[in-house]
Amino acid sequence: MTPLAEADAAGTAAKLSMLRRIARVWPYFNGSRAGWALAIGATIVASATEPFVPALLKPLLDRGFQRDSFNLWLVPISLMLLFTLRGLSGFLAQFALAKVTNDGLQRLRKAMFGKLLSARLTLFADQSSSTIANTVVYEVFNGSSLLINAILKLARDLLTLLALIGYLVYLNWKLTLIVALLFPAVAFVIQVLSKRLYRLTKESQTATDNLAYVVEENVMAHRDVRLHGAQASQASRFDILSNSLRRLSMKSTAAYAGMSAITQVLAAMALSAVISIALLQSAENTTTVGGFVAFVTAMLLLIAPVKSLSDAATPVTRGLAALERGIDLMDLTQDETGGSFVKARAHGDIEFSNVNVVYKTDAVPALNQFNLSIKAGETLAVVGASGSGKTTLVNLLPRFVELSSGNITLDGKEIRSWDLASLRSQFAFVSQHVVMLNSSIAVNVALGRPVDRDRVKECLSAANLAALLTELPEGLDTVLGHNAMQLSGGQRQRLAIARALYKDAPILVLDEATSALDAESELAVQEAIKRLTSNRTSLVIAHRLSTVQHADRIIMMDSGRIIESGTHTELLAKNGAYAHLYRLGFQPA
């Protein structure tokens, strides 16, 4: 193959690749057919009227300065109509383009957020929350704006280029001083519309921040949202904020496009005034330079579209790259998979059989041939050093972590055969890392479920938070703010316990629930935990032995295995690893 043929083949492959890339994006932006039709139609009108200005220039220069040659006011009136038409078509093109872009952007964001709610949890381990939030909120916005604007501008420049090649002329006038009268009017229009644009921009920034915050919250709280089945409520919350941002963006576009349209009309009025005065002062002089000036001017007009076409590949490529990042998030991330077994409420019998968990191929197993039976209603305490496999053990149950081999059954049914929503409805988690949404206390306690205010109050009271509720001016409707940081660690911990009480799941997991609390806060939390664990299968992980010594059974873990098992008294009598920890200072509080 010759070098020329190789170059042609490479170019063809690149074009095909570009077309395939655009085809991936197209399904999200093809829904607004009316918007596309309006944008294309207005662009064709705007491009087709480009040669009309030089078309009016030739008779103006050749005949306009001759007495009684033709109607004196025909040219200025035609110019006003022409620029009004151009301004209107430009406004409609920009507005329709904004509708296409924002409608497609909303569909793409909605699909991406839906993927976040259903994706395998490895996504959140592989990518940071800020990266995911930036992709969903900012990357796709910039990409869609760049791509759609670039494609339509490419079409407009091509049409303009063809129109100007067909007629090479442009208008030229001499009385330019009158144009100075245009500036005060334009300045007034810009001042008025700039204030509106500034306000809309500030509102859009706030709306964007709110939308990014919801995404960040759901990335941080992905386990809580899934565990409590709150995907639908969070998707609805996201849709409301996303739609608000879309409306603000459309208003901003209308103001920006209106500024351009009004300015064009004012320019047309000034230009018409210049030409009118020139015609009135022309007297009997005759000019024959119209054809020449029209040709030269039309050639000058070719510079802008030619330059624009030469740079067209850059915004298209950048826009596609940004959008593909979001689409890859959906296409390359698998959804969680579950079985079909559904049970309203489990008894709570759990069995681990030869379970192995390996996070990386060459890594030491987090759990190694692990076997354990837990009876319904039993309180099992899990003790061990950091890295012994305690948290991996409990995260296997709601399938936040997938086992590498072995089996885990709940009520005799392998957990992978359970429907995921049904499986996770059987568990309530209270961990040391409490995650709360930026919403009211009532919504946080009833996460994923309808709010029963009386029941919420009962759960808060059972969690030793009745006093806090009386101190808050808005009571249950108090908005907690960012992750409830206005509350103390103990209060946030008890709020998580109230959430678990409200869910009333048959199996409870306490993961280091009191490890970061002071003695007074721990005592209040311990009292709430006693109420919470009553008549439930409970797994309690703690560094403080005081929180586990009253358990029905305690297991001591090391390197993913059970090395000791028994009651607190039995393990102390064995004088093994548990007793060693006890003597090191893990005394009852």
**Per-residue pLDDT tens digits for 115-127:** 878 878 777 777 7
- Give residue 10's pLDDT: 40
Give 136's DSSP letter: I
- Using the CB atoms, write b or e for 504-513: b if 16+ within 10 Å: ebbbbbbbbb
Same domain as 357, residue 325: no
CB burial class (10 A; 0-12, 13-18, 19+) of residue 236? exposed
Same domain as 445, residue 297: no
Does residue 19 sit within a domain? yes
Same domain as 380, residue 275: no
How many whole angstroms separate alpha carbon 104 and alpha carbon 97?
11
Same domain as 135, residue 14: yes
286 φ, ψ (degrees, to nearest 5): -120, 135
Does residue 468 sit within a domain? yes
Same domain as 322, residue 364: no
Pick the last residue of a domain from 298, 331, 364: 331
Going by C-beta distance under 8 Å and a sequence separation of 6 or more, which residues neighbour residue 349?
A: 374, 375, 376, 409, 410, 411, 412, 537
Pick the last residue of a domain from 303, 331, 359: 331
Give 474's DSSP letter: T
Give 179's DSSP letter: G
Same domain as 454, residue 316: no
Does residue 498 sit within a domain? yes
Please report, for the domain that includes residue 31, its CATH number. 1.20.1560
Q: How many CB atoms lie within 10 A of CB 237?
A: 18
pLDDT tens for each residue of 459-491: 888 888 888 888 888 888 888 877 777 787 778
Same domain as 409, residue 289: no
Q: 352 in helix, strand or coil?
A: strand
Enumerate the β-bridge partners of residue 386: none
Question: Which two three-digit tokens encode residue 110?
Answer: 């909605």
pLDDT tens for each residue of 299-319: 556 656 655 655 555 566 667
Q: Mean per-residue pLDDT for 521-543?
A: 76
Does residue 341 sit within a domain? no
Does residue 529 sit within a domain? yes
405 φ, ψ (degrees, to nearest 5): -160, 165
Quick check: 571 pLDDT over 60? yes
- Give residue 113's pLDDT: 84
Does residue 342 sit within a domain? no
**Diameter of the chain by CA atoms?**
124
Same domain as 413, residue 320: no
- Give residue 175's pLDDT: 46
Highest mean pLDDT among 176-180, 487-491, 558-562: 558-562
Same domain as 166, residue 199: yes
Q: Give how many domains the chain has, as a whole number.
A: 2
Same domain as 274, residue 125: yes
- Give residue 71's pLDDT: 64
The CB-side HSE value for 469 (13 A sphere, CA atoms) comes to 23
Same domain as 355, residue 324: no
Rounded to the nearest 5 degrees, what angle is found at the Cα of 121, between the Cα atoms of 120 and 127? 110
The DSSP string of 4-32 is: HHHHHHHHHHHHHHHHHHHHHHHHHHSS-
- Using the CB atoms, write b or e for 96-105: b if 16+ within 10 Å: bbbbbbbbbb
Q: 344 in helix, strand or coil?
A: coil
How many whole angstroms separate alpha carbon 170 and alpha carbon 212?
49
Q: How far is CA 490 from the centre of its chain?
A: 32
Quick check: 267 pLDDT over 50? yes
70 φ, ψ (degrees, to nearest 5): -160, 175
- The more confident residue out of 427 and 35 is 427
- Quickly state the pLDDT bin for 5 (edges 50, 70, 90): very low
How many whole angstroms separate alpha carbon 42 and alpha carbon 86?
9
Same domain as 470, residue 327: no
The pairing of beta strand 379-384 with beta strand 537-541: parallel
Strand-by-strand arrangement of the 367-374 sheet: 367-374, 350-357, 405-410, 413-414
- Domain ranges, residue 287: 3-331
Span of 2-11, 152-161, 304-313, 514-523 with lowest mean pLDDT: 2-11
Q: What is the pTM of this model?
A: 0.66
The amino acid at 192: V
How many whole angstroms separate alpha carbon 115 and alpha carbon 330?
6
Please report, for the domain that includes residue 438, its CATH number. 3.40.50.300
Residue pair 168/294 in contact (Cβ under 8 Å)? The answer is: yes
Does residue 588 sit within a domain? no
The pairing of beta strand 553-558 with beta strand 537-541: unpaired
Question: Which two three-digit tokens encode residue 588?
Answer: 């009852």
End-to-end CA distance of the chain: give it in Å, rounded. Answer: 83
Residue pair 129/216 in contact (Cβ under 8 Å)? The answer is: yes
How many whole angstroms separate alpha carbon 421 and alpha carbon 117?
12
How many whole angstroms separate alpha carbon 341 and alpha carbon 328?
32
How many whole angstroms separate alpha carbon 153 and alpha carbon 101?
14
- Give residue 422's pLDDT: 93
Does residue 483 sit within a domain? yes
Sign of CA dihedral 524, 525, 526, 527: positive
The CB-side HSE value for 310 (13 A sphere, CA atoms) comes to 6
